[in-house]
Amino acid sequence: MSAHDIRSAVRPDPDQPLVDIADYVADYRIDSKEAYDTARYMLLDSLGTAMLAMKFPECVKHLGPLVPGATLPGGARVPGTSHELDPVQAAFAIGTQIRWLDFNDTWLAAEWGHPSDNLGAILAVADYLSRKAAREGGQPLTVRDVLGYAIKAHEIQGCYALLNSFNRVGQDHVILVRLASTAVATAMLGGNKEQITTAVSHSWIDNGALRTYRHAPNTGPRKSWAAGDACRRAVTHAINAVYRGVVGYPSALSAKTWGFYDVAFKGKSFEFERPFGSYVMENVLFKISFPAEFHAQTAVECAMQLHTQVAGKLDQIEKIVIETQEAGCRIIDKTGPLANYADRDHCLQYMVAVPLIFGRLVASDYNDEIAADPRIDALRDKMSVVENPQFTRDYFDPAKRYIGNSLQVFFKDGSSTEKVSIDYPIGHRKRRAEGIPVLLKKFEAAMQDHLPAHRVKAIMAATQDSAQLDAMPVQEFLGLFTL
Could you tell me which of 50, 47, 128 has the C-alpha nearest to residue 87? 128
User: In the predicted model, what is the mean pLDDT of the chain?
Assistant: 96
> Which is nearest to 112 in space by CA: 182, 41, 180, 162?
162
Please tell me the distance from the alpha carbon of residue 280 to that of residue 15, in angstroms, as a whole number. Answer: 23
Helix and strand numbers, DSSP H then E, in the chain: 22, 8
Helical axes 348-358 vs 297-310, angle rounded to 10°: 30
For residue 45, give every residue at least 6 positions away whose Cβ sits within 8 Å of its Cβ, in sequence order, or none: 104, 105, 116, 286, 288, 439, 442, 443
DSSP helix/strand/coil, 254: coil
For residue 376, the one-letter residue type is I
Neighbours of 72 (CB within 10 A): 15
| Residue 475: strand, helix, or coil | helix
* Helix (H) / strand (E) containing 199: helix 193-205
Query: Based on the number of CB atoms within 10 Å of its own CB, is 218 exposed (0-12), middle (13-18) or buried (19 or more)?
Result: middle
Task: Return the amino acid letter for 208.
Answer: G
Burial 257-286 (b: 16+ CB within 10 A, else e): eebbbeebbeeeebeeeeebbbbbbbbbbb
Exposed e or buried b per residue across 315-348, where buried means at least 16 C-beta atoms within 10 angstroms of its C-beta = eebeebbbbbbbbbbebbbbeeebeebbbbbbbb
pLDDT of residue 4: 57
Direct distance between the N- and C-terminal alpha carbons of the chain, in angstroms, rounded to an integer: 65
pLDDT at residue 203, rounded to an integer: 98
Phi, psi at 451, each rounded to 5°: -100, 155
Burial class (CB in 10 A: 0-12, 13-18, 19+), 100: buried
Query: What is the pLDDT at residue 8?
Result: 79
Q: Is 139 exposed, middle or buried (0-12, 13-18, 19+ CB in 10 A)?
A: exposed
Contact status, residue 454 vs residue 111, Cβ threshold 8 Å? no
Query: Could you tell me how far CA 152 lies from the centroid of its own chain?
Result: 15
171 phi and psi, to 5 degrees?
-100, 145
In order of 112, 158, 165, 212, the CA distances from 173 in angstroms are 6, 11, 9, 12
Is the pTM value of this prediction over 0.85? yes
SS (H, E, C) 5-48: CCCCCCCCCCCHHHHHHHHHHHHCCCCCHHHHHHHHHHHHHHHH
Do you know the residue count of the chain? Answer: 483
Contact 79, 60 (CB under 8 A): no
**Pairing status of strand 405-411 against strand 317-324:** antiparallel
Which positions of the chain have pLDDT values less than 50? Answer: 1-3
Determine the Cα–Cα distance for residues 51 and 94; give it in Å rounded to an integer. 10
- Burial status of residue 27 (CB atoms within 10 A of its CB: 0-12, 13-18, 19 or more): exposed
Give the tens place of pLDDT for each residue, 52-63. Answer: 999 999 999 999
